[in-house]
Structure 1
Amino acid sequence: MSASLWITATPTTPNGELHVGHLAGPYVAADVLRRFLKADGLPVRLTGGLADHESAVELCALGQGRKAAEVADGYGEAITVDWRRAGVEFDQLVRPNQDKGYRAFVTSLFRRLHADGVLVPRTRLLPYCGPCERALYGKYVKGGCPSCGAQADGNLCQTCARPNDCGDLLAPVCVLCGTPAVLRQCRRLYLPLEAHRKELTDFWDSVAMPPRLAAFRDGLLHDGLPDVAVSHPAQWGIEVPVEGFADQRIAPAVEEVASYLLSTGPESGPESGLKGGPDNGPESGPENGEESARGPLQFFGIDRAVLHLAVLPTLVAAYGGPLPTGFQVNEYYRLDGRKLSTTRRHAVWALDVLTDAGSDTLRRHVLSDRPEGRPAEFELDGLDRTRDHLHTSWNQWLSRLFAALREDCAGVTPEEAPGGTGWDLLAERLDFSARELRSSYGVSGFAPRRAVALLDEVVRLADDFHLVNAPERDRAAGRSAYRAALAAELAVACALTAWAWPVMPEGAGRLAAALGVTAGGPVTSAALAAPAPGVRLVPPTGPVFGF
């Protein structure tokens, strides 16, 4: 089986619906790259999953008076539906509570890593709430970040992205009841990253990373790589299969590594990755089947940096799986100056935006405002401006074009070849745009914000071309030149069914249906070709892009 290009988008936690911050971060961008590569005819896969066993899921369930499994399954289904409505197409999606064999594989992986000495016991202080009679970790506890001082959750600071051990939080407080936590000694299992410094630095030297991530890495190296807890005293999650830790559950970070390993190839999955149950040995893992040996390009938010930069590579290398080959990292998407958060219900929900504005508007908006290198602020007025732009620019040009074809060409493609005043220069500029789009969509130069700007420029040039050539219609000697100009505009419209497909697949599909062509072709200058003369066009009854 030939190796395929692999893209991963970090799993999301099903403690609520999908919000626009999720889409502005890894998911739409990863789908854009997948669509571009797939249109080129390359074997490409986009994999993702859900983090069903995060503490935020159980915390949500307690607040709603429900079982954690019901919350994970219910919101998990809503999230997958919203992904589809937003045009995000996964080739494989790991769902822990539903995938047969998943728990067995996680258990086997954990047992193996412990047996190999990768995971070791440590006794450390852990916050405890007396009134709730609960050990506090993850979303159950908040306090000051020991690295930057900002308010942080247990295990991770959302401000500086540094990990913590819960017990080193400043003034820890129980999230459930607000009681200041007391610290108790607790023996848990840990991944000591410092013991793997050499392997990690060798890996980091071999893979390119954006400056933001490189700076984060340098900070970790300077301060000393931390020990990361991989088990917690809890009731929600997968039981630790190690003697002496029966009352603990496997940390979600290890489960994300398991999801990664279960996605290492086209035929991978819980059933193919682990065929004999939890007692299978090392030879049963997914690295021995007919899967891709090439690691993925990973899309994730900066708050997941420790997992993707250090924890995952360490555990994957210990298992013998393929290491990541690159990183696409986004910053935070904010609302009213604060990071969007499902747990705090501080969000604009994807379903609401998709229902009101459609996937084209939402995808174009979050890509044009993608938080690359800096946080971005979501504004409903900005979304309205995006919708208005699609209407007054893209859709109005297409409406004028289809109206002209109906009135002057009986609704069919003209006999004339593409031409008109300025066509040669326009074709030259569009050829340049196609090459720039390929660069902006491609792996090495991936820049979706640039791609959106290029697409807008293509439409503006086509609209200007239409207006320049419109007077030819009123000249008896100019009718043929006018129809040639319409044929040229049809060529541009056909090109957009390919060029705009990665960004706005719904509208590109509508346009392709109207023109009688197939959407999603390669992003090349060859797409700049009008339908054959005499082909009857079927203009859509509503807006082409957005609604």
Structure 2
Amino acid sequence: MTGPVWITATPPATDGELHIGHLAGPYVAADMLSRYLRADGTPVRFTTGTSDHDSSVEVRSLRVGRKPDEVAAGYREAIAADWLSSGVEFDEIVHPGASTAFVGWLRELYARMAAEGLLVPRTRLLPHCASCERWLHGAHVTGNCPHCDAPGSGGMCHECARPNDCGDLLDARCARCGGEARARRCRRLYLPLEPFRERLAEFWDDGAGMPPRLVALCRRLAEDGLPELAVSHPGEWGVPVPVEGFPEQRVDACFEAAALHLYGYAFDRRAEPGHTVHFCGFGHAFCHAVLLPVLMFTRGLKLPQDFVVNEPYVLDARDAEGEPPVWALDLLAEHGSDTLRRHVLRERPTARRTAFSHEELRRTRAELDATWNRWLSRLFAAVREECGGVVPDAEPGGAGWPTLLRRLERAAEDLREAYGPLALDPRRAVAVLDEAVRCAADFADVNAHLHDRDRGRAPTTGGDERPRALAAQLAVAAALTAWARPVMPEGADRLAAALGVTPGGPVTAAALCAPRPGSRLAPPSGPVFGF
């Protein structure tokens, strides 16, 4: 039995709310793919979690004077609200800080790997702050990456995506007090990756769809020698290490995040996925492309996988009006999920960094009103004035309809390609949808002359064509309830309710079918897409 398509998205750390960069990265794009596949009849399991035991959570707790579990719990709730408001719908969200079942499963996995000799003790240098009397790991220590010299924290460099052992950070300092960090010898558990070289190389070369930058990262790792990855650290926050001899150490958050994905799919309760697609920012690529496959190997799993990797969405630069970036929930409340989803998919930093701009977001909202909503409001008004608000009993037609139909049929094929996992391209999907709506609006303007508005009736010449032109536009609108739903589900569902059709059908040319003749339309009082 072949299992579903498994879609994963990087679990965010619960040290803060989601910002628009998170939505522009893995979450909305992964949800777009999930919605497209489900509508096409493909079984999907879409999973993520929250990185509750990330060191950044403890750092935040120390700064605000609260317990780490309180910080994690509060932001877990906020993140869940952000996902819900933005229309990102998961099948499974694993919360390590609130799941005793996951913690037990993780400890069992960890202990088994240690018993099999896959985790080994090593004594190496680890930064320590004498003033804070604290070992420094992850977000507790800042410095420069030993591989690319970029400023960052311990554990994983978000610039070059390569791991560091904290002790080899350049100019290491305590993140809490800013004092100089002194390297001291510390015995921890490590996962040597070199024994997995051949299997990883085969995985990277065969069946793993990777963007070029991720391919280059994996090649550099292999050329330099795969590292031994620290998977434990001394501390008080996190899952206790279930290995004798390490009583005051915790499981590393990166290891936990990779294991979280395996737990979220629940391999013990369902068939292995037929295909896997991982969504992540480049800074988290090591976890998805190296550590997660290794954990799969240890469990006898080898899956065909693709990777959808985004670059950073720059948030620290102010736009032309000097407005600072704001949190996702604020933007959702101001602009709505349709506008925000469409914007981040069109501006998504796929191959290069892009910068967020309030003005560009407002322009996106204006574009929806000027094209999509303007055309739909005029269409609903025409049906109300000319047909009594019911769908005309006419075959789609009108001046230029055969040409428009051919273009729309090609648009359906272009959308299937842009939405599909093999050539996923959110920007292209938005562009195709926009062009389809513009073509429909142009068709409406051309055929408006068939109606004699002065006398309130159809003229003798072309009188049979006017209802057909309206039916044609209604067919396009009905198609958008399926075609646009992966991008703007809220507006697509609102449009389906107005037309009296079922939303979320397959993205195909067959969706170009007007509602049942004689059915009464129920247009919304406000805009269909956005607000």
TM-score, normalised relative to structure 1: 0.93
Give the alignment partner of residue 375 of structure 2, picking from 378, 397, 402.
397
Q: Partner residue of 2:484?
A: 500
> Equivalents in 1 of 2:507, 2:93: separation in Å?
27
1:85 aligns with 85
Which stretch shifts more, 398-407 or 196-205?
196-205
Q: How far, CA to CA, are the matches of 2:404 and 2:47 in structure 1?
A: 39
* 2:229 alignment partner in structure 1: 228
CA–CA distance in structure 2, aligned partners of residues 237 and 69 of structure 1: 10
Q: Bigger shift: 474-483 or 159-168?
A: 474-483
Give the 3-state SS of the residue equivalent to 1:414 in structure 2. Answer: coil
Deviation at 1:52?
0.4
- Is 1:246 aligned to residue 230 of structure 2? no
2:511 alignment partner in structure 1: 527
Letter paired with 2:295? L
Q: Distance in 2 between matches of 1:26 and 1:293?
A: 20
Match of 1:279 in 2: none
Report the counterpart of residue 308 of structure 2 in structure 1: 328
Residue type of the partner of 1:243?
E
Q: Which shifted more, 311-320 or 502-511?
A: 311-320
- Report the counterpart of residue 47 of structure 1 in structure 2: 47
How far apart are residue 192 of structure 1 and its match? 1.3
1:498–1:62 CA distance, 2 compared to 1 (3 A): same
1:208-264 residue CA offsets vs partner (Å, 9 max, x unmatched): 211111011111112221111000111000100111111100001221232122123
> For residue 515 of structure 1, what is the amino acid of its counterpart?
L
C-alpha distance in 1, partners of 2:272/2:341? Answer: 30
Match in the other structure for 2:149: 149
Cross-structure match for 1:258: 259
Contact 1:317 1:323 survives alignment (8 Å): no
Q: Name which of 282, 301, 309 aligns with 2:289.
A: 309
Which runs of structure 2 are paired with 1:272-351 in the superposition (5 Å)? 286-287=267-268, 289-294=269-274, 296-323=276-303, 325-337=305-317, 348-351=326-329
Deviation readout 1:29-55 (Å, 9 max, x if unpaired): 000000000001111110110010000
**Cα 1:293–1:32, aligned 2, differ >3 Å: closer, same or farther?**
closer
Q: Distance in 1 between matches of 2:95 and 2:463?
A: 60
CA contact (8 A) 1:365 1:386 kept: yes
Shift in Å, 1:320? 2.3
CA distance in 1: counterparts of 2:168 and 2:398, whole angstroms: 71
* One-letter identity of the residue aligned with 1:37: L
Structure 2 residue 417 is the aligned partner of structure 1 residue 439: yes
2:455 counterpart residue number = none
Task: Select which of 371, 376, 385 maps to 2:363.
Answer: 385
Aligned to 1:459: 437
Partner SS state of residue 35, structure 2: helix
Q: Would you say the 8 A contact 2:282–2:309 is kept in 1?
A: yes
- Which deviations, in whole Å up to 9, do the C-alpha atoms of 1:468-524 show, x marking residues without a partner? 011110233223211210110000000000000000000000000000001110000
CA 1:170–1:100: 2 relative to 1, 3 Å: closer
The C-alpha deviation readout for 1:74-94, integer Å capped at 9, x for no partner, is 100110111011000001111
Alignment correspondent of 2:96: 96
RMSD: 1.4
Residue matched to 1:546: 530
Query: Could you tell me how far 1:532 is from its partner in structure 2?
Result: 1.4
Residues 403-437 of structure 1 deviation map (CA, whole Å, 9 limit, x = unaligned):
11111110000112110000011001100000110
Secondary structure class of the residue paired with 2:350: coil
What is the match of residue 187 of structure 1? 187
Shift of 1:347: 5.2
Per-residue deviation, 1:297:
1.0
Q: 2 CA distance for matches of 1:89 and 1:384?
A: 25
Q: Distance in 2 between matches of 1:371 and 1:326?
A: 18
Could you tell me whether the CA contact under 8 Å between 1:298 and 1:324 is conserved in 2? no
Following superposition, the deviation at residue 292 of structure 1 comes to: 2.3
Q: Kindly indicate whether the alpha-carbon contact (under 8 Å) linking 2:395 and 2:471 is maintained by their aligned counterparts in 1.
A: yes
**CA gap 1:397/1:53 in 2 versus in 1, 3 angstroms:** same
Q: Confirm or deny that 1:491 pairs with 2:475.
A: yes
Tell me the equivalent position of 1:343: none
Name the CA distance, whole Å, in 2 between partners of 1:311 and 1:4.
22
Q: Which digits, 9 at most, give the CA deviation of each residue in 1:155-187, with x for residues without a partner?
A: 122222221111001110001001001110001
In structure 2, the residue matched to 1:516 is 500
Write the distance in 2 (CA, Å) between the matches of 1:197 and 1:3: 28
1:295 is displaced (CA, Å) by: 5.4
- For residues 8-61 of structure 1, what are the alpha-carbon distances to aligned partners after superposition, in whole Å with 9 as ceiling and x for unaligned? 111111111111111101100000000000001111110110010000111111
| Mean Cα deviation higher: 218-227 or 72-81 | 218-227
Q: Aligned residue pairs: how many? A: 519
Cα separation, 1, equivalents of 2:366 and 2:98:
41
**How many angstroms does 1:293 deviate by?**
4.8
CA displacement, residues 126-152 of structure 1 (integer Å, 9 cap, x when unaligned): 000001000001001011111111212
Q: By how many angstroms is 1:323 displaced?
A: 3.7
CA distance in 2, matches of 1:259, 1:291: 18
1:302-354 CA-to-partner distances (Å, cap 9, x unmatched) read 0011111111111221122344511111111102459xxxxxxx953110000
- 2:124 is the counterpart of 1:140: no
Measure, in 2, the Cα distance between the counterparts of 1:246 and 1:324. 38
Match of 2:390 among 393, 406, 412: 412
Runs (5+) with no aligned partner, structure 2 = 319-323, 453-458
1:58 is aligned to: 58
Q: TM-score, normalised by structure 2?
A: 0.96
- Answer whether contact 2:259 2:295 (CA < 8 A) is retained: no
CA distance in 2, matches of 1:193, 1:347: 39
In 2, the alpha carbon distance for the partners of 1:512 and 1:153 equals 48
Q: Secondary structure at the match of 2:461?
A: helix
Deviation at 1:540, TM superposition (A): 0.5
Distance 1:295 1:118 in 2: 27
What amino acid is the match of 1:164?
Answer: N
Q: How far apart, CA to CA, are the structure 2 residues paired with 1:136 and 1:325?
A: 35
String of CA shifts for 1:366-390, please: whole Å, max 9, x gaps. Answer: 0001111111111111100000000
Q: Which amino acid aligns with 2:219?
A: D
Counterparts of 1:336 and 1:465, CA distance in 2: 43
CA distance in 2, matches of 1:293, 1:357: 37
Query: Letter of the aligned partner of 2:190 in structure 1?
Result: Y
Please state if 1:358 is matched with 2:359: no
Which stretch of the first structure deviates more once superposed, 492-501 or 466-475? 466-475
Q: Residue 465 of structure 2 aligns with which residue?
A: 481
Which string of whole-angstrom CA distances, capped at 9 and with x for unpartnered residues, describes residues 70-114 of structure 1?
Answer: 111110011011101100000111111222411111110000011
Runs ≥4 residues deviating over 4 A? none
C-alpha deviation, 1:2, in angstroms: 5.1
Distance 1:134 1:125 in 2: 14
Is the 2:21–2:315 contact (alpha carbons within 8 Å) kept by the matching residues of 1? Answer: no
- SS of equivalent residue, structure 1 residue 262: helix
How many percent of aligned residue pairs carry the same amino acid? 55
Q: Distance in 2 between matches of 1:337 and 1:317?
A: 42
